[in-house]
Every structure is written in structure tokens, then in C-alpha cells.
Amino acid sequence: MARVAFLGLGAMGFPMAGHLTKAQHKVTVWNRTKSKAEAWAEQYRGTVASDPASAVFGVEYVIMCLGDDPDVRAVFADILPQLGGGSLVVDHTTASASLARDLYAQAKSRGAAFLDAPISGGEAGAQKGVLTVMCGGDKDAYDKAEPIMDAYSSRITRIGESGAGQLAKSVNQICIAGTLQGLSEGLAFAKAAGLDADTVVKAISGGAAQSWQMDNRAATMAKDEFEFGFAVDWMRKDLRIALQAARETGASLPVAALVDQFYADVQAMGGGRWDTSSLIKRLVKDVD
């Protein structure tokens, strides 16, 4: 049993922290909206802290699952004075690689360890405890954190040194963006051609066109249903990070840049909280 502080109880963090209690870890939680932390404590065994510094006092593992770079930087500044030799911070936020490297250096200056460990799998993956984790940081820190992360993950991989986890998450989001745009165009074409989308998807999903997105989102896309997890607003944040990293590395991301603008169109339609499969709304205004 380990003593763990979990900071950030959003759609992903709430069930992730719950899985830690099920794995018999002693968990202290903090959330900016205290009522969310109190609701978590009613559902799971654990302690609610009034602020991040209080949450991490005396614990060995600190897990963050926040929103964006400014959120991570602010919370980390609060907890840094409490970190010492033996402390290990695992950041599951999708943030920039440059921020990860900065926080890694700050943690190391106090004898602590820091892993950037963004996650994939969505809200459903968090609830089921089958997330994919991409880690950047020292191998000894990764080896120490892996058994803790195993409580809510089905695949955990150390990609490389500090920042590598965040860069891998950008790869993940770049691939998803392109796949969803292709699926959206395919379904829009099927409708325009007078084909039954369900029949077409059943026919092609056993071939080279198959993808997780097709298996899990094609039917709901055809029904104009977009309430299934990861929101457009968050995808645009992730693509912003990926596109910035591409500018810094000299990589070319023409499709990702285009799809980012398509997501901006979806936001303008009022779809910021729709899930990412809502790209099809630009192409088919009245989905059957």
C-alpha cells in the first residue's frame, strides 16, 4: 500500500483516483471545486485536502490530472516546497514537452522525480481502468511508478527521457484527428450517395479501413449523437500543443493543421463540448 496524492478530479481523474483506492492505496485528493472532491470521498475511501500543498504533505507519490500548461504550472508551484528526496510526481495532464522538462528539472533540484505521463483511452477507459500511458522521464522513476499506474491502466510504456511522453501523446492526437476526418468524409459520402451507413460500415470494418474510431463511433456519428467522451475543446488544446511542437521540431503537419481548423468550425457551431467524432457535423448538417 502506497500513500498517494491525486490532484484533479475531472472526468478522467475521478475514476482513476477511485481505482487507486480499490488497489488498497491510501489516497488523498484535491480538486479546485471542493464539492467534486467531497463527492469523490463519498464514493471511495480517501481524504479530501483543502489545497494541493496539504494533499502532498508526507506522501511518496503525487499524481496530477489537470487541464493545460498554466494549470499544471500553478499546482506544481504550490506543491514544490513539499517535495523532497523520494517524492515522485506523475503528471497525466496532456501538456507541452517544454513544460515537462522544466518541471522535471525543478523536481530534480529538490531530490524528487518527475514523469510526464499523458493518457489515452477517454472517460470510458478511465472508468474501466484500461488507459494507455505514455511516459517520459528517468527509468528508475518509471519503474517505481509503474505499479501505481497499473491500477487504472492496461498499457504503460516509457517512451524516453523527460518530455517524450508528451510528444508521444501529440503523435496519438495527430493520428486520431486524421482518422476521424477520414471517417467523417466517408460517412458523409455514403449519405450523399444514398447508402445505408450501418450496412456500409459493417461491410468495410473487416478490411483495411477498420479503426477503433469506426468500431466505436461510426454508428453514433450516423445518428447525430456526440456525447461520448473527449470534447472538441480539449482536442483543440491538444492539437495546439502538437502544432507548436511541430513548429519547434520542423515537422510538417498539414492534415492536423487543417483538422484543427475544422474543429474550430465545430466550436463555432456550438459544439465545443461535443465529442471529437462531431467533425461530421461540418459535412452533414442533418444526420439521419
- What contacts 24+ positions apart, CB below 8 Å, involve 176-179? 176/213, 176/235, 176/276, 177/235, 177/239, 177/255, 177/256, 177/259, 177/260, 177/276, 178/255, 178/256, 178/259, 179/211, 179/213
Same domain, 215 and 259: yes
Confidence of residue 93 (pLDDT cuts 50, 70, 90): very high
Q: Please count the structural domains in the chain.
A: 2
Task: Write out pLDDT tens, residues 21-40.
Answer: 999 999 999 999 999 999 99
Task: Give Cα separations from 54 to 28, 42, 155, 176 (angstroms).
Answer: 9, 20, 31, 38
For residue 288, being part of any structural domain is answered with: no
Q: Would the pLDDT of 203 be above 80?
A: yes
169 assigned to active site: yes
Confidence of residue 117 (pLDDT cuts 50, 70, 90): very high
Same domain, 74 and 153: yes
Same domain, 52 and 179: no
User: Which of 102, 135, 161 delimits the end of a domain?
Assistant: 161
Check residue 288 and give its pLDDT. Answer: 47
Same domain, 120 and 252: no
Check residue 144 and give its pLDDT. Answer: 98
Residues of the domain holding 20: 3-161
Catalytic one of 36, 139, 169, 202: 169
Confidence of residue 168 (pLDDT cuts 50, 70, 90): very high
Same domain, 136 and 208: no
Torsion, CA 119, CA 131, CA 156, CA 53, rounded to 10: 60
**CATH number of the domain residue 198 falls in:** 1.10.1040.10
User: Which of 161, 177, 200 delimits the end of a domain?
Assistant: 161
For residue 27, being part of any structural domain is answered with: yes
**Exposed e or buried b for every residue in 183-208, given b needs 16+ CB within 10 A?**
bbebbbebbeeeeebeebbeeeeeee
Check residue 176 and give its pLDDT. Answer: 97
**Region 103-117 average pLDDT:** 97
**Region 93-108 average pLDDT:** 98
**Region 5-26 average pLDDT:** 97
User: Which of 133, 161, 189 delimits the end of a domain?
Assistant: 161
> In whole angstroms, what is the distance from residue 109 CA to residue 106 CA?
5
Percentage of the chain with pLDDT > 90?
95
Task: Write out pLDDT tens, residues 40-75.
Answer: 999 998 999 999 999 999 999 999 999 999 999 999
